[in-house]
Amino acid sequence: MTGWQAPLRLGAVIITMGNRPAELQDLLDSVAKQQGAPIEVALVGNGAPLPPIQREHLRTAELPENLGIPGGRNVGIELFGPGGRDVDAVLFLDDDGLLPGDDTGELVRQAFRDDPELGIISFRIADPDTGVTQRRHVPRLRAADPMRNSRVTTFLGGACAVRTAVIGQVGALPAEFFYAHEETDLAWRALDAGWQIEYRSDIVLHHPTTSPARHAVYHRMVARNRVWLARRNLPWPLVPVYLGVWLALTLVRKPSRPALRAWFGGFREGWTTPCGPRRPMRWRTVWRLTRLGRPPII
């Protein structure tokens, strides 16, 4: 006979630029309808004023400037107390997403309760009209079957749940990244500390299908943050291998000349600018990532 366990306290961190008020209201409604104990919400206006919202279980912050996605989410975590101590896990949700079911919170609680080593859950993102999950939204190399659950080595930043114990142990998201690869940085640190990450196809966030086409700033940040990610986390022998593989993949994809120019500018910036503290993962973590299907060279 097992003893009674208090339900895990959940918080949801939502950052907004103030340009999707209708979608934000729908998302907040979908969080409020969840079964079980109410989910506390931390709503952050990331360089934009928040719309007038009167709700229970809501904490807010309006930032005078856009701190980027990881910086805004870190502010949201702190709204739950230092390191998010008022809750046991936080859900990071895109402000134009929607929880289609009312059991998402309970599925998250059960998953964390069943596996004490599970630190991060990556949700499945599905188009609300077609139900289709884009291949790029499945956080593993073998992404043909989005309905297959699996252990993974990274997660989707706008559709996930993270134990606050993970953040307390390995630190928050790297705010200096601003956009792109901040999830992998946190994932690698969590895996190196012994936590597990799982992709769950039955825990769903609805999000409209978007085009992967991007602008020059995107290409610059992707390249810069790839270099920062390697410099911060990889053993030195793997750094040139990892970056060489990504350089080759970028060239194979034949980006436009402006995109390639922005990419190389970001690549150079990644080597010449501070990237934050360096904490290289252990070689046994490299082997663990390899066994999970994604060695840290790709």
Q: Per-residue pLDDT tens for 115-160? A: 999 999 999 999 999 999 999 999 999 999 999 999 999 999 999 9
Residue 3 lies in a domain: no
Domain end position, chosen among 173, 206, 239 = 206
Of 291, 293, 285, 88, whose CA–CA distance to 194 is shortest?
Answer: 285
Q: Evaluate whether 122 touches 197 at the Cβ level (below 8 Å).
A: yes
Q: What is the pTM of this model?
A: 0.95
Residues 183, 259 share a domain: no
Q: What is the pLDDT of residue 151?
A: 98
Residue 2 lies in a domain: no
Residues 252, 123 share a domain: no
- How many structural domains does the chain have? 2
Residue 60 lies in a domain: yes
Of 131, 130, 113, 111, whose CA–CA distance to 122 is shortest?
Answer: 111
Residue carrying the six token digits 């910086």:
71
Residues 278, 181 share a domain: no
Report the CATH number that the domain containing residue 44 is assigned in CATH: 3.90.550.10
Residues 42, 97 share a domain: yes
Q: What is the pLDDT of residue 298?
A: 87
Q: What is the pLDDT of residue 59?
A: 97
| Other C-beta atoms lying within 10 Å of the C-beta of residue 4 | 4
Residue 67 lies in a domain: yes
pLDDT score of 213 more than 70: no
pLDDT in tens, 94-117: 999 999 999 999 999 999 999 999
Q: Evaluate whether 173 touches 185 at the Cβ level (below 8 Å).
A: yes
Burial of 142 (0-12, 13-18, 19+ CB in 10 A): exposed
CA 25/CA 62 separation, integer angstroms: 17
Q: What is the pLDDT of residue 142?
A: 92
Residues 230, 199 share a domain: no
Residues 177, 47 share a domain: yes
Residues 268, 159 share a domain: no
pLDDT in tens, 249-276: 999 988 899 999 999 999 999 999 999 9
pLDDT score of 244 more than 80: yes
Residues 178, 59 share a domain: yes
Q: What is the pLDDT of residue 1?
A: 36
Burial of 212 (0-12, 13-18, 19+ CB in 10 A): exposed
Residues 250, 120 share a domain: no
Average predicted confidence (pLDDT) for the chain: 95
- pLDDT band at residue 211 using 50, 70 and 90 as cut-offs: confident
Residue 194 lies in a domain: yes
Residues 65, 39 share a domain: yes
CA 89/CA 120 separation, integer angstroms: 9
Sign of dihedral through CA atoms 134, 135, 139, 144? positive
Which structural domain, as residue segments, surrounds residue 191?
A: 10-206
pLDDT in tens, 14-58: 999 988 999 999 999 999 999 999 999 999 999 999 988 888 999
Comparing 71-75, 181-185, 256-260, the range with the smallest average pLDDT is 256-260
Residues 129, 38 share a domain: yes
Residues 124, 51 share a domain: yes
Q: Evaluate whether 76 touches 3 at the Cβ level (below 8 Å).
A: no
CA 43/CA 59 separation, integer angstroms: 6
Query: What are the C-alpha distances in Å from 71 to residues 40, 55, 78?
Result: 20, 24, 11
Residue 297 lies in a domain: no
Residue 1 lies in a domain: no
Residue 45 lies in a domain: yes
Domain end position, chosen among 174, 206, 238 = 206
Domain end position, chosen among 181, 206, 231 = 206
pLDDT score of 212 more than 80: no
